Amino acid sequence: MRRIAVVGAGQAGLQLALGLQADGYEVTLVAERTPEQVRGGRVLSTQAMFGPALRIEAAAGLDLWADRAPAVSSVEAVLAAPPAVRALEFTMTLDEPAQSVDQRLKLAGWLELLAERGARVEYRSLDRDGLYELARRHELTVVAAGRGGPDGVFARDPGRSPFDRPQRALSCLYAHGVGSPDPAAEPRARMHALPGLGELYLQPALTLSGPCAILLWEALPGSPLDVFGDAPPPDVQLARIRALLGEYLPWEAEFWAQAEPTDAGAGLFGAVTPTVRRTVAELGSGVDTVHVLGLGDTVVVNDPITGQGANSAARAADAYRRAVVEHGDAPFTADWMCRTAERFWQQHARHTVEFTTSMLTMPDHLQGVFAAAAEHEEVARRLANTYAEPSDHAAWLATPELTAAYLASVAAPR
């Protein structure tokens, strides 16, 4: 039985470990926190997952909360022009429903499931030396332990990294008691774009205490929406949210009158520098050199504006699992690692980076897409489903010429 180590207990690491264990590999997972610590901690992300990623989980038997998590089939989109005017609005319909399960709930459950199924789970932190020793004892070591891995062993790839600083300041809150403009249409996500200020997303989700709403502010750094840098406690965070909504999105503010944080760990803050890193790291030297393979956010980090994090992690874990199985008994060389990672980059990851970059920078031709979506349901639907399948970005959003051709075809008499 081949011995494989996975470092990191997020979406990518746990899904890969569970998949390989089910395929008959001897798996060791290294996690920093126990299930109890995960459940008792702060929220980790917004983790909206679209159809392709949900299908991967279902095929692996890991969709343990599918019957309880709200199934979101549409997004109400509003362009809010100052002063507090609904300048443009439309509904984006997904071909397959999306779902969001609090990762405290999911990851703790998956950790317990992995141990129940007989995998070795080690709860500890790793530095570069610890990672080296782990890799020496296993035929393959995959690192899915956050941005850059232990001690930043995965170097930034400047040719593929679109930015050198955060493009948004982020504030996320899980809340109960959030109202709806159209209860009959629920569950529905809501998106507000505020030019020159940032964006607001509201996502129905499942948390530890049941259904909830997740609110994510994507504030341009230094803008009036960027008021959460001190990481306030959830009650203070909610008060600031109400104040911002009252000033900039008053039609949304009324739905937050009865809202309250889901728990003491309901708030999350930060800023993400979208970054692509080298996918293979070399540790040691000479005959003692070992290589480790990066996975998920360890090597590709996107701003959450397009919701690609958990989706890309799920798809990467599935791609790596299949590559391991197809490799048979052959050694897991550095060349194999590079080819495996590059194949996933070309098929999927590069599209998430390009799509997210477009949404962060909002070039003129993309602004035209939002205007067209307000007039044509077909455009709104295709835009919604590009979030689910970002490779479609290359077919109609990547250049002004592609976008113009598509919009002309939609507007043409039929």
CATH (domain of 149) = 3.50.50.60
The confidence score (pLDDT) of residue 287 equals 86
Same domain, 29 and 109: yes
Cβ–Cβ under 8 Å, residues 149 and 294: yes
Same domain, 134 and 265: no
Q: Residue 373 belongs to what domain range?
A: 363-411
Closest CA to 304 of 147, 107, 170, 106: 170
Same domain, 187 and 39: no
The confidence score (pLDDT) of residue 352 equals 98
Give the CATH number, domain containing residue 264.
3.30.9.40
Same domain, 109 and 42: yes
Same domain, 17 and 82: no
Last residue of a domain, one of 214, 236, 271: 271
Cβ–Cβ under 8 Å, residues 180 and 186: yes
Which 8-state DSSP code applies to residue 183? G
The confidence score (pLDDT) of residue 93 equals 98
Same domain, 17 and 127: yes
The confidence score (pLDDT) of residue 214 equals 98
Cβ–Cβ under 8 Å, residues 115 and 107: no
Same domain, 55 and 197: no
Rg (CA), the chain: 21
Same domain, 305 and 242: no
Q: How far apart are CA 35 and CA 104, in angstroms?
A: 8
CA distances 337 to 3, 48, 265, 281, 341, Å, are 16, 29, 37, 10, 6
Q: What is the dihedral of CA 342, 347, 351, 353, to 10 degrees?
A: -30
Same domain, 35 and 77: no
CA distances 100 to 39, 54, 64, 135, 390, Å, are 16, 10, 12, 34, 18
Last residue of a domain, one of 271, 291, 321: 271
Q: How far apart are CA 203 and CA 133, in angstroms?
A: 42
Residue type, 296: G
Average confidence (pLDDT) per 10 residues, the chain, 414 residues? 95 98 97 98 97 98 97 97 92 98 98 97 96 97 91 96 97 98 94 96 98 98 97 98 97 96 98 97 94 97 97 98 97 98 98 98 96 97 98 98 97 81
Cis peptide before 232 (omega within 30 of 0): no
Same domain, 14 and 111: yes
Same domain, 279 and 402: no
Same domain, 345 and 220: no
Task: Please name every residue paired with 356 in a beta bridge, in sequence order, or none if there are none.
Answer: none
Cβ–Cβ under 8 Å, residues 42 and 268: yes
Q: Residue 14, Cα to own-chain centre: how many angstroms? A: 15
What DSSP letter does each residue of 63-104 carry, written as one string? -TTTTTS--EEEEEEEEEETTTEEEEEEEEEEEEEEEEB-HH
What DSSP letter does each residue of 285-306 carry, written as one string? -GGG-EEEEE-GGGTEE--GGG
Sign of CA dihedral 252, 357, 165, 151: positive
**How many domains in the chain?**
3
CA distances 255 to 178, 189, 236, Å, are 6, 14, 18
